[in-house]
């Protein structure tokens, strides 16, 4: 195993980790505002990827332009999902029942995708699909760089929104202590709805990035939701920085392990990390005051 | 008092009629297809009841029980094909192996509650799917594993009597186990965990040990169900054995029927299993059954999270005449009832039913 191969894997791992970080941040948002584990997150991701593919296939537009439509659409869908479905569940059992509800939504989306687009594997072919550039001796595909850039930009935007705006403050207050947030006059229901919308918007961005460089099929979302859920548990449920760091570490780990073990076995790194975390530190490695009770 | 006896008697009658219908099913099933579909539905009932040992008693909803199902099926299959163990001995051994495996996994998984537990259960299925697909030399990978059937001439059309034997054998211990736990101190502790784990712990219930025992029992029963599946169908593939969908069927059936009742999962399995078979026949190999499962699960979660049995019981409670025992009525309600009775000595059904409705409201 040469050094340049190792370096190449490291770069690819960082690029993959960026996408994981964005999606895991979305999952953490849902959990933060509503204590909901959104199993349908990856299904929405695949749905967005299919929409990007469809736009490209039908009108010949660059899949990235589908973001103009999908991001607002997913944001609204997220707000609606929270207000119309999650809010209906009994508060005492909301964590458990919402897992089942979002699981049902994931099945629904997978089934509908199979119904509408059939189970055939799809891939977007672009003029720059095969292009790659050299970074310090490592060959990196342009589409992967674009995907990473998109993820990093969205993550930065999310970070600024959460730390610099009044809405971000309200959202973080809702995550920290909903009751206290209500007492100081924050409309937590509304904020929780917007939090959900933001989470789904990350899935829309991730979907466009995903459609650039991977083959998509309806049941793909199971390959994403497993690692993503492992990431948010390892990072500590409810902690966005924790999720981002865990995503980076595990993404790089997966990419490096692919060299000696091959792609399939390398995936198990997420689950091993998950079980190790549970044994050593069940509340996760960063923050995660909430984790053990939920 | 009479009503209690009546109700108990009627539930016994229902039980006996149901059991008789179940046991004589091969005799009256109209054609081989219905018979084999019936066996599938029955094995769903067995699996879902096994799930309910942990989901129903402790409230820890595992979406990943397919991992135990798959481990049981593959354990049985591998013991038969690789080690040459006789079929039913292999089934028992696989059950023991899974029970041993479930202890460390349970210790890890039960350290967290609620959502994290669900995540862990799903992760378990996904990792087992990966392992069984990649470990091609041992498990056969995606090519599948063919298990020799122990009943060579027991094809459904020819030998209707022996067919259900394994399923019957599987159903018995589960029902007995449930009945025993439900009435024991152990079961009381488990239910306390379901209602409020912190309070249960502070009252001295050894919550972790109780949860672990329930978890291992449930895993073992599920694995035995999986082993029977392997023996009966004789063809295993990781993608079907370690399928999230199977785990979600178990949850859906138990929830639909009602997790707090022994027969809840059975009832759920009848409804959902028949629906699944129907969808498979009418829509073939499309993705439609996913959509249907998703819609049904969402509807159950949103509209009757306690299941059909409590929902129907609540409806019947409104129609039922006066309650039997004063212990179920508060002093204020009793006073109200006495006053109504005094006002109208010829107590009619209509007033009774309104009383029943009030009481149902109060109790909820």
Which residues in chain B have their CB less than 8 angstroms from residue A226's CB? 122-123, 126-127
Q: Give B69→chain A minimum CA distance, Å.
A: 19
* Dihedral sign of CA atoms A101, A103, A107, A110 in order: positive
Tokens of B351: 């007033």
Check B119 against A105: CB less than 8 A apart. Answer: no
Give span(s): CATH 1.10.3470, chain B. Answer: 2-319
Tokens of A233: 């548990």
With a CB cutoff of 8 Å and minimum separation 6, the contacts of A155 are: A18, A21, A22, A25, A244
Contact of B291 with chain A, judged by CB distance below 8 Å, is answered with yes
For domain B2-319, give its CATH number from 1.25.40, 3.40.1620, 1.10.3470, 1.20.58: 1.10.3470
Minimum-distance CB partner of A111 among B122, B126, B294: B294
Check A265 against B130: CB less than 8 A apart. Answer: yes
**pLDDT tens-place values along chain B, 364 residues long:** 445 555 566 666 666 666 666 666 656 666 667 777 777 788 888 888 888 888 888 888 888 889 999 999 999 888 888 888 887 888 889 999 999 999 998 988 888 777 778 888 888 998 898 888 888 777 777 777 877 776 655 554 444 444 455 555 666 777 777 777 877 888 888 888 887 888 888 888 888 888 899 999 999 989 988 888 888 777 888 888 888 888 888 888 888 888 777 778 888 888 888 888 787 777 766 677 788 888 888 888 888 877 777 777 777 777 766 555 445 556 666 677 777 777 665 544 444 444 444 444 434 3
pLDDT value of position B108: 84
Check B61 against A100: CB less than 8 A apart. Answer: yes
Nearest to B123 by CA among A275, A207, A58: A275
> Tokens 């332009």, residue?
A65
Q: Which of A138-147, A191-200, B76-85, B337-346 has the highest mean pLDDT?
A: A191-200
Per-residue confidence band for A289, with pLDDT thresholds at 50, 70 and 90: low
Count of all residues that appear for chain A in the document = 294
Minimum-distance CB partner of B301 among A36, A101, A264: A101
Nearest chain A residue (CA) to B239: A219
Kindly report which listed range (A170-184, A235-249, B281-295) carries the lowest average pLDDT score.
Answer: B281-295
pLDDT value of position A141: 82
Secondary structure element (H or E) that encloses residue A133, with its range: strand A132-135
pLDDT value of position B11: 61
Phi, psi at residue B13, to the nearest 5°?
A: -60, -45
The whole-model pTM stands at: 0.80
Q: How far apart are CA B145 and CA A132, in angstroms?
A: 42
CB contacts under 8 A, B 54-73 vs A, are 59, 61, 63
Q: Which residues pair with A139 in a beta bridge?
A: A134
3-state secondary structure at position A135: strand
Structural contact between residues B231 and B79, judged by C-beta atoms closer than 8 angstroms: no
Minimum-distance CB partner of A103 among B107, B126, B297: B297
Per-residue confidence band for A294, with pLDDT thresholds at 50, 70 and 90: very low
Q: Is the pLDDT of residue A23 over 80?
A: yes
Contact of A218 with chain B, judged by CB distance below 8 Å, is answered with yes
Q: How far apart are CA A10 and CA A16, in angstroms?
A: 10
Which residues in chain A have their CB less than 8 angstroms from residue B295's CB? 104, 108
Contact of B40 with chain A, judged by CB distance below 8 Å, is answered with no
Q: Is the pLDDT of residue A228 over 60?
A: yes
With a CB cutoff of 8 Å and minimum separation 6, the contacts of A216 are: A46, A49, A50, A53, A121, A122, A123, A210
Minimum-distance CB partner of B301 among A31, A100, A270: A100
Q: Which residues pair with A141 in a beta bridge?
A: A132
Kindly report which listed range (A153-157, A234-238, B162-166, B280-284) carries the lowest average pLDDT score.
Answer: B162-166
Q: How far apart are CA B8 and CA B65, in angstroms?
A: 33
Contact of A93 with chain B, judged by CB distance below 8 Å, is answered with yes
Q: Give B107→chain A minimum CA distance, Å.
A: 8
Contact of B128 with chain A, judged by CB distance below 8 Å, is answered with no
Q: Tell me how far the alpha carbon of residue A35 is from its chain's centroid.
A: 16
Nearest chain A residue (CA) to B249: A104
Q: Is the pLDDT of residue A147 over 70?
A: yes
Contact of A263 with chain B, judged by CB distance below 8 Å, is answered with no
Instruction: Please give the ipTM for the structure prediction.
Output: 0.83
Check A101 against B123: CB less than 8 A apart. Answer: no
């Amino acid at each position: 195993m040469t050094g340049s191969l190792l370096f190449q894997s490291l770069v690819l791992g960082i690029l993959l980790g960026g996408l994981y970080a964005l999606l895991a941040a979305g999952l953490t948002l849902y959990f933060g505002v509503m204590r909901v584990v959104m199993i349908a997150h990856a299904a929405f991701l695949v749905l967005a990827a299919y929409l990007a593919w469809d736009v490209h296939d039908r009108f010949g537009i660059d899949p990235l332009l589908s973001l103009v439509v999908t991001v607002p659409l997913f944001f609204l869908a997220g707000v609606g999902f929270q207000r119309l479905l999650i809010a209906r569940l009994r508060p005492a059992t909301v964590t458990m029942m919402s897992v089942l509800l979002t699981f049902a939504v994931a099945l629904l989306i997978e089934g509908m995708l199979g119904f509408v687009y059939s189970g055939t594997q799809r891939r977007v072919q672009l003029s720059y699909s095969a292009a790659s550039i050299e970074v310090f001796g490592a060959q990196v595909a342009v589409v992967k760089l674009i995907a990473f850039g998109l993820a990093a930009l969205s993550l930065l935007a999310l970070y600024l929104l959460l730390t610099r705006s009044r809405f971000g403050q309200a959202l973080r207050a809702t995550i920290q202590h909903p009751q206290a947030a209500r007492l100081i006059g924050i409309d937590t229901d509304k904020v929780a709805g917007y939090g959900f919308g933001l989470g789904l918007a990350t899935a829309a961005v991730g979907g466009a990035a995903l459609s650039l460089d991977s083959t998509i099929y309806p049941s793909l979302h199971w390959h994403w939701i497993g690692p993503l859920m492992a990431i948010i548990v390892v990072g500590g449920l409810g902690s966005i920085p924790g999720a981002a760091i865990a995503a980076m570490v595990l993404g790089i780990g997966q990419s490096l392990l692919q060299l000696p073990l091959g792609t399939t076995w390398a995936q198990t790194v997420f689950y091993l990390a998950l079980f190790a975390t549970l044994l050593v530190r069940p509340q996760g490695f960063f923050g995660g005051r909430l984790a053990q009770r939920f | 008092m009479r009503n209690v006896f009546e109700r108990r008697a009627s539930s016994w009658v229902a039980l006996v009629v149901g059991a008789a219908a179940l046991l004589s099913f091969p005799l009256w099933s109209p054609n081989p297809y219905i018979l084999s579909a019936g066996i599938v539905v029955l094995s769903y009932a067995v699996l879902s009841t096994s799930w309910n040992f942990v989901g129903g008693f402790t409230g820890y909803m595992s979406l990943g029980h397919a991992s135990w199902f798959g481990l049981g099926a593959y354990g049985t299959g591998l013991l038969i094909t690789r080690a040459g163990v006789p079929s039913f001995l292999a089934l028992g051994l696989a059950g023991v192996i899974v029970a041993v495996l479930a202890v460390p996994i349970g210790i890890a998984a039960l350290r967290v509650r609620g959502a994290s537990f669900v995540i862990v259960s799903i992760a378990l299925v996904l990792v087992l799917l990966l392992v069984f697909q990649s470990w091609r030399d041992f498990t056969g990978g995606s090519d599948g594993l063919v298990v020799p059937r122990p009943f060579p001439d027991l094809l459904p059309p020819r030998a209707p009597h022996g067919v259900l034997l394994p399923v019957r054998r599987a159903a018995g211990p589960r029902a007995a186990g449930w009945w025993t736990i439900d009435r024991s101190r152990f079961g009381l502790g488990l239910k306390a965990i379901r209602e409020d784990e912190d309070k249960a712990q502070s009252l001295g219930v050894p919550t972790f040990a109780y949860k672990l025992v329930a978890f291992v029992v449930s895993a073992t029963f599920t694995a035995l169900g999986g082993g029977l599946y392997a023996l009966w169908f004789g063809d295993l593939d990781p993608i079907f054995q370690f399928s999230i969908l199977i785990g979600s069927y178990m949850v859906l059936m138990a929830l639909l029927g009602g997790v707090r009742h022994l027969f809840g999962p059975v009832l759920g399995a009848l409804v959902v299993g028949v629906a699944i078979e129907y969808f498979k026949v009418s829509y073939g190999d499309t993705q439609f059954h996913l959509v249907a499962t998703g819609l049904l699960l969402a509807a159950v979660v949103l509209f009757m999270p306690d299941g059909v049995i409590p929902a129907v019981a609540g409806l019947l409670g409104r129609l039922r005449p006066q309650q039997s025992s004063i212990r179920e009525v508060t002093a204020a309600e009793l006073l109200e009832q006495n006053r109504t009775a005094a006002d109208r000595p010829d107590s009619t059904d209509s007033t009774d039913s309104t009383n029943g409705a009030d009481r149902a409201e109060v109790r909820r």
